[in-house]
Amino acid sequence: MSDLSAEAVDGMFYEVPDDLRRVRVFVTERALALGLPETRIEVLTLAVSELTTNTLQHTSGGGHIRIWAEDGRLVCDVVDQGPDRPFGRAMPAAEAVRGRGLAIVERVCDAVYTTAVPGGTLVRICLNL
């Protein structure tokens, strides 16, 4: 299988707010195909929506999502051109207008990792199958 056909199956690019609906559909369909329990699909969709919305609000150039299964986990990479994200943060106060997205991602996923990559940042989220 070529890289291009693999991309068509397990990954997608997004670059404008109108792409968010396609992102959610892609995440849902891919998670179902990989065997993520339906009760966890909403969790994954929420986490990816928070990360991709963050990309569109705080970076330029959009981003890329890739989802696959490995070692009993569903793994999702979200890569964009933004700076490294601070994880391990406290949930903002109830009256805060912004700042909950990354805190939510950390709390709903089984594991969250971030690393700098050429030209940006990769955030990897994992949910146990």
pLDDT (tens digit per residue) in 18-69: 999 999 999 999 999 999 999 899 999 999 999 999 899 888 889 999 999 9
**Exposure of 26 in the CB half-sphere (CA atoms within 13 A):** 22
Whole-number Å distance between alpha carbons of 17 and 15: 7
Q: Record the pTM.
A: 0.85
What's the pLDDT tens digit per position in 70-83?
999 999 999 999 88
CA–CA gap between residue 39 and residue 41 (Å, rounded): 6
